[in-house]
Structure 1
Amino acid sequence: MHILILAPDSSTAQQLQDALCGIDDRYTVATTWADAASALEIELPDLVLIERSALARIEPTNLLNMMESGRWPTILLMDIPFAQAVEKLALAKRLTKSTPPSYQIGELCIDTRKKRAGLGERWVTLPPIQYRLLLTLARRVGEVVSYRELLQTVWGYDGDDNEARELLKEHIRRIRRRLRMDPKEHRYIRSVRGFGYMLAPPDED
C-alpha cells in the first residue's frame, strides 16, 4: 500500500514512520501542503496520514476540498505520541479495502486498487488528474456531471464554464487516446453540450 504522510516537520514525519516500523508499506513524506499536492499529482496514494497539528498549515479552501467525497483517498489523522499508530493504520486499511475495488461499464473497467483503467483486455495507467476525472465520472455513471463540478472535484478550484470546458475537453481527449477509444465505436465518455460530461455504456442512449 502506498501511504502519503503529511507532518509539520521532518522530525515528526520520522517519528510516525518509526512508529509504523515493520509494516510493509511504501511511504511518501510531505512537510508542506505544496509538497503533498505535488506528490498527489505524481501518484495517487491509497491512504493519507496527517499529523493533526499539520492541519493548521493547510489553507481553509484546501481543507474543504479534502472533505469532498470521492476526490481523496482515505484520510487518517494521527496524534503525537504515536502509541496507537499501528492500530489506527490497520483500521484505515480495512476502511480503504471496503471501497469498491473496480468499476465496470461495458468493456471499460477502472481498477481502484491498482489505479489503472482498461478497455477490453488492454490496461493502461493514466496520469493522476485523468484517472481522477475518469473515476469521478464512473462514480456517477449515467449522470451528467457539469463542467464546473468536474473542475472543482478533480482540480480542486472554482472556475467559469468556459475555462472548465476547455480544460476538460483536452483531458477527455487524452483519456480517449490513451485508452484507444474510437468515438464512434466506444461512446463511453459523452459530451452533453452546454452542460458537462457523462460516462455510460456505449449501447445506452
Structure 2
Amino acid sequence: MPEPAVVLIEDEPQIRRFLRATLSGQGYRLFEASSGADALVEVASRQPDVVILDLGLPDMDGLEVIRRVREWTAVPIIVLSARGQERDKVTALDAGADDYVSKPFGAGELLARIRVALRHTAGASHEGEEPAFKVGELQVDLLRRHVAVGGAEVKLTPIEYKLLATLVRHAGKVLTHRQLLREVWGPSHDDQAHYVRVYMGHLRQKLEAEAARPRYLLTEPGVGYRLAAE
C-alpha cells in the first residue's frame, strides 16, 4: 500500500519547510502549493488522502478553496491557520473543513489529527459497512444500535442515540452546533444550540466516568463537539 498523500497549501516558506521535514519523516508523500489557484490544481491532480490548508493565501481566501474543493471531493481538509477566533473556526468548519488547528501548533498534535482523518476516510471507504466503534471503554455498534461502557449496555433515548451516532460517524472530527442541529433535529432548528448542550449533558451522564471531565465527548469551546477517536 502506498504511503498516504498529503497536499500542503501554505504560503509561508518556513512553515512549509518545517512541515516538509515533519511529514516526510513520518512517511507521508507531500505535495505543496503556495496559492489558491495552485492548490486547486494540486488537489485535482494528486487526489490526496488529506489536505492541510492555510486560510491566508495571497490570491484567494482559504474558505473559497474549501468551497471549491467540496464541489467534487470529500477529501479530509485540516485547516492550519493563525485565525484563532471562534467565529473563524465555525465558519471554516461550516464551509466544509473537517478539522481546525490554530497557529502556533505542535507537530505531534497535527500528526494526530492527520491520523484521525485517515482512519475516518478508511472507515468510510468500506461501502455498506457500519463497523463497531470503540474508544477506551466506550463501544458503539451502529448496525445493532448497541451502546456499552465497560461491557455493560447503556440505554439511550432516540434523540440521545441519534446524537451519539452522528458523532460516531464523524469520530475525531469537530462538528459545529449547526451541523449537529441539522443532522439530529433538522434544518429548521439551526438556532437552537441549547438543544445540543442539554442532550450532550445527558450523554455525558450516561457514558462518562466523570461527566464534568469527559474522556470521550469533548467540547470545542464556542464551536461544537468532537468524539474522541483515540
Q: TM-score, normalised by structure 2?
A: 0.41
